[in-house]
Amino acid sequence: MANTPKEFFLKYGIPIVAIVVIAIQLLFVNTQSLTKWKGGGYGMYTGIHYYYDQIYIPGLSVDSMIVDNNEMKTVLGRLKLMPNDKNLKMAAKLVLETSEKDSIHIQVWKPEVNPENSNYTRVLINEIHLKKSEL
């Protein structure tokens, strides 16, 4: 029986494409601060969902900032999803523009549960200090 191109693609092509997609996802997770929950969800059950990450801004309530401001909600939501330096700086600029502060300090915290002793803690993922004069 002769191997047709369709059989060859089904036997080798699809698994190769799947491996390439998984490799790209793992590369982005480890180098671009992409959450494990996005991009196919590989590894999504190895960590707590990014929705539970916390953005902390001393002197400001994040919850009250996003109530009436859709742009703030979008930018801070993207920061939770991908807490990289680019998104952190974008969020800091927006907070400085919408508030009367001269400088801003934003921290992104990730919840973590130790399976050995069931302790719940938070881990600092990323932070930024930005002055209005640096804009």
Tens digits of residue pLDDT in 46-85: 677 888 999 999 988 888 888 888 999 999 999 998 888 9
Residue at 79: amino acid letter: L
- State whether 42 and 77 are in the same domain: no
Q: Structure pTM?
A: 0.69
Same domain for 1 and 12, yes or no, is yes
Give the domain extent around 20.
1-46
- What would the pLDDT profile of 3-12 be if each residue is shown by its tens digit? 788 888 888 8
Side by side, which strands form the sheet with 54-56?
A: 54-56, 103-114, 119-131
Do both 41 and 66 map to the same domain?
no
DSSP-derived 3-state class of residue 47 = coil
Q: Which residues contact 42 (CB under 8 A, 6 or more apart)?
A: 22, 25, 26, 36
